[in-house]
Amino acid sequence: MTTPPTPSKPRRLGNLTRLLLLVLAIGVVAAGFLALFAPWGFYMGGRFHAIPMWQGVARIHSNSAGGDYALWVWFWPDSGRLRGLVYVTGNGLLCTPHGERFNLTFGGTFDKPTSVDLNGQRVSLYMHNQSVVRRTLGKDLRPELELRGKWNNPDMLLDDQGSIARNFGPDGKVFESVAGRPYMGEVSPVTLRQGGKSDFEAACKASYH
């Protein structure tokens, strides 16, 4: 009796190798595209990054919105649509004085640098609640934050354009609606310093009442 042939393991390994090579090739092409059209992405914060991404952490204090908030953002170059500006896209995480957390969708613009140096360039950043449930129910995507200022390598020196006080009450809870609230109330300074998840967790813990 003839024994059926055993499936070839090398073939499976070969398919996996080809998949990994394909992913690697896509990554190389993407990095090459960014190096050609957005070289500044590798130098955000004033030093070279092998991966064109920057992440920063800030603590934001608001007397009228209940105390201290912790913010973590991470972003990378996006394709621009207007001449003279560069675009970034990414995500953020906001921690309130009570430890409540909001996942944020992030976007922004910088002045277009004449070289790879962004130092001194103006910054406009926008982010809003990315909750799928709230979007599906047609609710306000609060909180919505707006930060403006400039790069001061290695940090960003910004203010919140009143958006913390506009979105949160004295108890640190997010408003369901901002109807009738002043657009520009208390303006809080914001310094985004390069940092990651562990820095955010420490800032978030320190913000609790």
Give the pTM.
0.79
Determine the pLDDT at residue 113.
82
Backbone angles phi, psi at 36, to 5 degrees: -80, -45
Determine the pLDDT at residue 119.
94
Determine the pLDDT at residue 11.
53
CA atoms within 13 A on the CB side of 165: 17
Burial of 16 (0-12, 13-18, 19+ CB in 10 A): exposed
DSSP annotation of 175 reads P
Convert the pLDDT of each residue in 56-89 to its tens digit. Answer: 999 999 999 999 999 999 999 986 555 567 899 9
Determine the pLDDT at residue 26.
47
- The neighbour count for residue 87, using CB atoms within 10 Å, is 17
Task: Report the C-alpha gap between 134 and 57 in whole angstroms.
Answer: 26
**Average pLDDT across the chain, whole number:** 82
Domains in the chain, start-ordered, CATH in brackets? 41-207 (2.40.160)
Determine the pLDDT at residue 39.
87
The distance in angstroms from the start CA to the end CA of the chain is 77
Grouped pLDDT means (10 residues each) for the chain, 209 residues: 54 62 50 61 91 95 95 87 76 95 93 87 93 55 92 96 94 81 87 96 87
Structure tokens at 157: 């020196």
Convert the pLDDT of each residue in 22-39 to its tens digit. Answer: 555 444 444 554 554 678
